Amino acid sequence: MGVQDRAVACEFLNCLCRFDAMANKDRRLSIVAEQCSGCLRCALACSLYTSPERTFNLAQSKIRVVPGWEQGTFEITVSHDCTCCGICAMYCEFGALTTVDR
């Protein structure tokens, strides 16, 4: 199932994200940048699920993935308004993102 399919399948997720009901104070994102492939699925999913426009837009994503200094490495940062909803981690197939209890 792709990102778009999951968005269409969920009737409630967009409303919940828009009103910040998915903000989770009990967990945080764990980032292992060494595992990252740079595929950007996390950022695309974040923008689709959490932006008011509900579109793929990397500029709207709360997670950023950029090339690191060494070739083949990536740096991952998360903005202060990340709700720790865990959607980006759901779409990371490389084990670079997981949600963990605080």
Residues 33-62 interacting with ligand SF4 (rule: CB under 6 A) = 36-42, 46, 50, 62
Out of 3, 68, 94, 98, the only residue in the binding site for ligand SF4 (CB under 6 A) is 94
Q: How far apart are CA 52 and CA 31, in angstroms?
A: 26
**77, amino acid identity:** T
Least separation in angstroms between residue 49's CB and ligand SF4 is 6
DSSP codes, 39-81: --HHHHHHHHHHSTT-S--GGG-SEEEEE-SSTT-EEEEE-TT
Residues at the contact surface with ligand SF4, assessed by CB under 6 A: 29, 36-42, 46, 50, 62-63, 65, 76, 78, 82-88, 91-92, 94, 96-97
